[in-house]
Structure 1
Amino acid sequence: MSKEISYTIEEVSQLLKVSKLTIYDLIKKGELPVFRVGRQMRMDAADLDRYIKNQKSAQMPASAVPAPESHRTEMRESHNVVISGQDIVLDILGKQIEKCSPYKSLRSYSGSLNSLISLYNGDCDIVSLHMFDGDTGEYNLPYVKRILTGNRYIVLNLVARKAGLYVKKGNPLNLTSWTDLSQPHITMINREKGSGARILLDEQLRIHNLASKSIIGYEHEETNHLSVASVVATGKADVGVGIEKAAKMVGIDFVPLIIERYDLVLLKTPENETLIRIVKEILSSSLFQTEISSLGDYDQSQTGSVIYETF
């Protein structure tokens, strides 16, 4: 490979046939060097070649041998922090973390459920969640308590925001509720499994006794809010589920149906004590809150508050 060639994280994951979270973990551990072009991380082809050759020459894969304590300490001192989630507010958080601490923020754009599982597996440091539980009417905690069993953790509120339906300008089909999705002339565009929007939809279908097979387009998926909103904007679908901000960015109408709490979760470990303190300070700072307020469409009344904490 030419030394002038570089790859995106997604391209590297495809070349190595592993998930992007695996690549982020290798970056976090300092095993794969990257550089930034704006907000995007890229990797030199030469560095990728070197990594592959090192793995081939090793007597057994590094992943098969537990890292000695001294090496784990070195990895912790690399000061890379992986933040998982898709909202632009997380980019602002990452920027503030880099400004006021030795940490460097890396971004993973996985959905809520996959992010929480990655936190459990040690592949992320900060995850954002907006997962609705239909049995309790509560956001996030029912899932966190089940998945992070056996771990100590803290849940901090980031923002609250409106979730609902993306519809065409003027809402020509007069869609106003979850039950409208089952109308035979309505075509929807869905989010991927594990995303907060998909969980919200599936829970509302369950609550209202609606079968997913009755909804045209339920099996058609996009992987982020903007993509779903864009599909509606182009007329390829009549409706999608997402957040208000994306609808305004794309220029379509939005039908609010629920206020969702968007929280952060961090594991409480000795290594994370400093990171937790820094995140708390940032969330409560006037600088951060002013920047979020300037974006519009976010409720900051609970920003920085401790929603739940284990001891």
Structure 2
Amino acid sequence: DFTASVIGKLGSVVIHGVNIKPGKPVVLGMVRGKPVIGIPGYPVSAALTFGLFVKPLVYAMQGRVVPPQGSVIAKLSRNAASSLGQEEFLRVKLGKVSGALIATPVTRGAGALMSLVRADGIIRIPAGSEGLGAGEEVHVDLLRPVHEVENTIVCIGSHDPALDMLANALKKKHPALSLSSAHVGSLGGLLALKRGEAHLAGTHLLDEETGEYNVSFIRKHLPGKRIVLVNLVHRDQGLLVPKGNPKRIAGFEDLARKDVSFVNRQAGAGTRLLTDLHLKRLRIDPEQVNGYNREEYTHMAVAAAVLSGTADTGLAVLSAARALGLDFVPVAKERYDLAVPEEFFESPLLAALLGIIGADRAFRDQLVAMGGYDVSEMGKVMAVLL
């Protein structure tokens, strides 16, 4: 980047680099008595620094004050780690659950332009902080009117690419509504329902003793709470490997090999529990698995690790493998449900979402085309639990 040197040759550089993330490479200078601002090339950095430095300057030159955006207090839906030493501007999606605002971090990265499109607000994490904890109250600077936030459905729990497709289908059919999902694992989702922090939770927890999905875990963690269990998909889980499977990985038994590196899902994720179940059956100590303690929060993050070569394999759904051109070693077919508290199941807000799950043929066809999904029971109430 030659911006700073060019400004320096034509005039003077006042500041080169600011202690924020994203947006650090900002250049502030003067050329022939006029202010010159160089903003970073990455889209999120550019948009953020334009709002912080250019917008106030333009208003000031017109003798005006930047109109206040408004702000709210919300509860953070999941942990948000941050780099010590830089003030981070974290984009979040907001939703109102039982009268309380819930803030869910969206995709990070200076190039993740859609994170700005989807975000409802920004949280500032101080430079002296290493992050924020789930359940912590946070100050959110709004990017859109607060009344729009009240039309957001909050889903916290297990990740599946089908949720991203569902969010797109909802927005296309009902533009005023949004689906916000935080990926904290199936158990984390059930606990979020218990704390009243979500409208629904994605879950695929297998009971080793009964062979049944989700029911016993809901009874254990949500006693006395009436939950409607609705199927979203049955899906194929397997070990993702590079194209051609160069290390000839055939199953979980290969994870004990010294020449095989693994990328795991986070503790509490249904996929992590499935991994532990197979290791237990094979009598493989997790300490024998190279990479067992390396954790990712989504299937796509696991796929990206395998694609980049930082891991030889990881457990994820077939659709993630297909999306990144990886090979797939089948392990299990599992049921992925949405756990919905009864008071929300019957609410107008969720009626549109459940309508898409129950009857939208185009949405079903999209999932089938992605590969690895059985939609024959999509929308079916699997159980009503108290």
Q: What is the distance in 2 between the residues matched to 1:278 and 1:116?
A: 22
Q: 1:81 aligns with which of 149, 153, 176?
A: 153
Corresponding residue SS for 1:155: strand
Q: 1:151 aligns with which of 205, 225, 228?
A: 225
Alignment match, 1:184: 258
Alignment match, 1:117: 191
Q: 2:329 aligns with which of 228, 252, 255?
A: 255
Q: How does 1:155-174 map to 2 (within 5 A)?
A: 155-174=229-248
One-letter code aligned to 2:152: N
Q: What is the distance in 2 between the residues matched to 1:31 and 1:200?
A: 29
Alignment match, 2:381: 306
% same residue? 28
Shift of 1:238: 1.9
5+ residue gaps, structure 2: 1-19, 21-48, 54-75, 85-91, 107-112, 125-136, 138-145
Q: Is the 8 A contact 1:129 1:196 kept in 2?
A: yes
- Deviation digits for residues 177-231 of structure 1 (CA, Å, limit 9, x no counterpart): 2222112332211111122221110122223322111112111222222222222
Q: Is the 8 A contact 1:134 1:207 kept in 2?
A: no
Q: What is the distance in 1 between the residues matched to 2:214 and 2:347?
A: 22
Alignment match, 1:131: 205
Q: 1:203 aligns with which of 277, 280, 297?
A: 277
Q: Is the 8 A contact 1:231 1:237 kept in 2?
A: yes
Normalising by the residue count of structure 1, what TM-score does the alignment of the two structures yield?
A: 0.75
Normalising by the residue count of structure 2, what TM-score does the alignment of the two structures yield?
A: 0.61
Structure with the larger strand share: 2
Does 2:267 correspond to 1:193?
Answer: yes
Shift of 1:275: 4.4
Q: Is the 8 A contact 2:96 2:150 kept in 1?
A: no
Q: Is the 8 A contact 2:183 2:297 kept in 1?
A: no
- Deviation digits for residues 66-91 of structure 1 (CA, Å, limit 9, x no counterpart): xxxxxxxx99x933310234323213
Q: What is the distance in 1 between the residues matched to 2:382 and 2:330?
A: 24
Alignment match, 1:216: 290
Structure with the larger helix share: 1
- Deviation digits for residues 232-282 of structure 1 (CA, Å, limit 9, x no counterpart): 223322221111111122222110010011111100027844345444322
Alignment match, 2:119: 42
One-letter code aligned to 1:4: G
Alignment match, 1:93: 166
Q: Is the 8 A contact 2:233 2:336 kept in 1?
A: yes
Bigger Cα Rg: 2
One-letter code aligned to 2:163: L
Provide the aligned length of Structure 1 versus Structure 2. 278
